Amino acid sequence: MSTELKRALYNIAALADLGQEITSLNNFREKIQAAFYVITGTFLANKGAILFYDKSTKKLSTLTQKGFAAADLDRIHPEDLMLLGKNKPCCIGEYPLFAVADAEILAPLWVRDELIGALILSSKFNASPYTTDDFELLNVIANQIAITLNNHSLFMDITEKLEENRKLYEEMRHIYRGTLQAFAAAIDAKDAYTKNHSHRVAKYATAIARELGWSEHDIEGIYVAGYLHDVGKLAISNDLLNKTTPFTPMELFEIKKHSTLSHSITSKIAFPWKDVADMVWHHHERLDGQGYPEALAREAISDGVRIITLADSFDAMTSQRPYRKKLDVQSALKELQKCVNSQFDNKIMLVFCKVLDKEIKGELPEPDILPHIDKDSDLSVISALLEGIIEELSAPERAGQSLAP
Amino acid sequence: MKSAQFSVHSKLCGDAAIIYPVGYLNNLSGESLVKECGLYISKGITKVVVNFSETDLVNSIGISLLLQIIEDLRNIKGTICCTNMSKFLSETFKMLGLLQHMHVFQGEKDALKYLTAGGK
């Protein structure tokens, strides 16, 4: 085989190497470094550089280089490069503007009508001159490198836009949460006895959902449902909500409307979370079908509803109401336990107790329930009670207990 | 059996370093060969033998890395000997004009004998 043919095969192999490297799964820096080795290995150049032109700053930066003085490369101006042919390599000696010591070849890199960078090479290691074939090969390589740089530039633009959108989303989320809290404050302000109730229900529900291993997205959903579960109370009269004597059947009927009203309001909002309106609507349902507004039972009641129901009941029990005194945490837990499987779900109650126990023992860095319980509570007593409840609820026969028909 | 995953190991034999590239010298992992030589050069070693018995494929990336080693040694007036080269490697180096910049020997012993005799 003649040397010329061997050389031609070597060049073809080099182009294949270049294609393989720039389409590899390597990161951009690795791709450029590998492409740089392919070029310097193909032309036996002991010095070289690949420069990138940043459209936004209108400056060239060195992506990789070997052998040249950094100050020389810094003196290359993009405006001067724009005067040269697109992706056409030229002898640098013909252009005194590019005063880079030992540089012999320069190829401005273009994609369509945009300058994207430059490729610079020194003389060959074996001192042979660059041939016409070399220039043709360099032209092909310059096109390939230009496309790679352009793809990277587009990727960077998209990444930048993505970051802007992420920030915008975070700002909107912040505003959204603020609005939600303002709304909840308006709901709770209707009833002097339920100050911060919506906030606490949201926090308790979040803690249970997190312990259950829900995704962050779904946790956000139940947080919102917790805040809005009583939004229908806005349509109930203040006199009725703050009544200190027992409700008449008619008044009770009126009060019970609030969950359906909450559903009517929230179902008009296109939440990014599923089931918010359902959680709000059914937070007074019971597993035994004795709840309202639809008397749903067992499987018809979703986990989300079961969580909100328990969180709502626990907070109602541990809060002062016009018609009764608040219960201490131990009494409330015992009351909840009594109603497991008839009103509340065994699994949800178990998880709630586990979270509270972990919070008391300092095992959770950001407690959601503990900060809201009575400051005078004896935590060691509560913890002992919780351990007992957890043991009982964890027993297989209890966990699998079915509801009475 | 030649491995496609490139690695390099080496040993010091008198005042010469013997470098064993293993696998295809055709991607960025070949930079370890330059680093290995660089470690010996930084310790004052000027004689390097590269034993290619476990490397029979070198592409343009590998050539670029070998150029770097040749140049690093040239800068310190050192010597590079290449041994156990396959026919493909010998012909590639010859076609690229690299043989003038290295000493080629059949085996490691010949190279060490040459270096011990003060070969430059």
* Domain range list for chain A: 3-161, 190-399
What is the structure's pLDDT at A401? 52
CA distance A387 to chain B (A): 56
A-chain CB neighbours of B57 within 8 Å are none
Is B14 within a domain? Answer: yes
Q: Do B97 and A26 touch (CB under 8 A)?
A: no
> Cβ(A262)–Cβ(A232) under 8 Å?
yes
Instruction: Give the residue numbers in A contacting B (CB under 8 Å), as ranges.
Output: 3, 6-7, 10, 13-14, 17, 21, 26, 30, 33-34, 36-42, 44, 46, 66, 125-126, 128
Query: What is the C-alpha separation between A322 and A386, in angstroms, rounded?
Result: 28
Q: Is A50 helix (H, G, I), strand (E, B) or coil?
A: strand
Q: What pLDDT, on the 0 to 100 scale, is given for residue A212?
A: 96
pLDDT at B3: 41
Number of C-alpha atoms within 13 angstroms, CB side, residue A342? 7
Q: Is A29 buried (19+), middle (13-18) or exposed (0-12) by CB count in 10 A?
A: exposed
Residue B1: inside a domain, yes or no?
no
The Cα of A3 is separated from the nearest Cα of chain B by a number of Å equal to 6
| Cβ atoms of A253 and A240 closer than 8 Å | no
Output the pLDDT for position B78. 96
- Yes or no: say if A205 and A305 are a contact pair by the CB < 8 Å rule: no
Q: Smallest Cβ distance to A41: which of B28, B63, B95?
A: B63
**Whole-number pLDDT of residue A64:** 96
Q: Do domains A3-161 and A190-399 have the same CATH topology?
A: no
Give CA–CA dist A60/A63, Å, rounded: 9
Question: Is A6 in Cβ contact with B61 (below 8 Å)?
Answer: no
From A3, A30, A41, residue closest to B28, measured CB to CB: A30
| Domain A190-399 class, CATH top level | mainly alpha
Shortest Cα distance from A210 to chain B (angstroms)? 44
Query: What class does CATH assign to A3-161?
Result: alpha beta
Q: Are A359 and A367 in contact (CB under 8 A)?
A: yes
What are the residues facing A103 on neighbouring strands?
A122
User: What is the rounded distance in angstroms from the CA atom of residue B47 to the CA atom of residue B37?
Assistant: 10
What pLDDT is attached to residue A142?
A: 93
Among chain B residues, the shortest Cα distance to A33 is held by B28
Residue type, A362: G
Contact criterion met (CB below 8 Å) for A52 and A116: yes
Residue B36 lies in a domain: yes
Residues in chain B where the model's pLDDT stays below 50: 1-3
B96–A10 CB contact, under 8 Å: yes
Tell whether B2 is covered by a domain: no
Angle, CA A146 vertex, CA A144 and CA A151 arms, to 5°? 95
Q: Which pLDDT does position A190 carry in this prediction?
A: 80
Contact B59 A3 (CB under 8 A): no
- What's the structural domain count of chain B? 1
CATH code, domain with B83: 3.30.750.24
| pLDDT tens profile A312-354 | 999 999 988 777 788 999 999 999 999 999 999 999 999 999 9
Residues A344 and A301: their CA atoms lie apart, in Å, by 11
Residue A400 has a pLDDT of: 53
pLDDT at position A106 is 92
**Shortest distance, CA B61 to any CA of chain A (angstroms):** 5
B95: in domain: yes
Which residues of A fall within a CB distance of 8 Å from B67? 40-41, 44, 46, 125
CB–CB contact A37 B98 (8 Å): no
CA distances from residue A71 to A2, A79, A99 in whole angstroms, order as listed:
43, 18, 10
Cα distances (Å, whole numbers) of residue A12 to A1, A101, A109, A200, A316: 16, 30, 21, 70, 78
Distances (CA, A) of A147 to A22, A50, A88, A230, B11: 10, 13, 14, 58, 43
Distance CA B34, CA B30 (A): 7
Taking the CA of residue A108 and the nearest CA in chain B, the distance in Å comes to: 22
Q: pLDDT below 50 — which residues of chain A?
A: 402-405
Compare CB distances from B67 to A10, A21, A44 and report the shortest one's residue. Answer: A44
Mutate to test the interface with A, among B33, B64, B71 (most CBs of A within 10 A): B64
Chain B residues within 8 Å of chain A (Cβ atoms):
26-28, 59-65, 67-68, 70-71, 91-92, 95-98, 100-101
pLDDT of residue A403: 42
- Nearest chain A Cα to B62, which residue? A41
Which range marks the domain in which residue B57 is found? 7-116
**Residue A59 region, left (φ>0) first, then alpha (ψ -120 to 50), else beta?**
beta
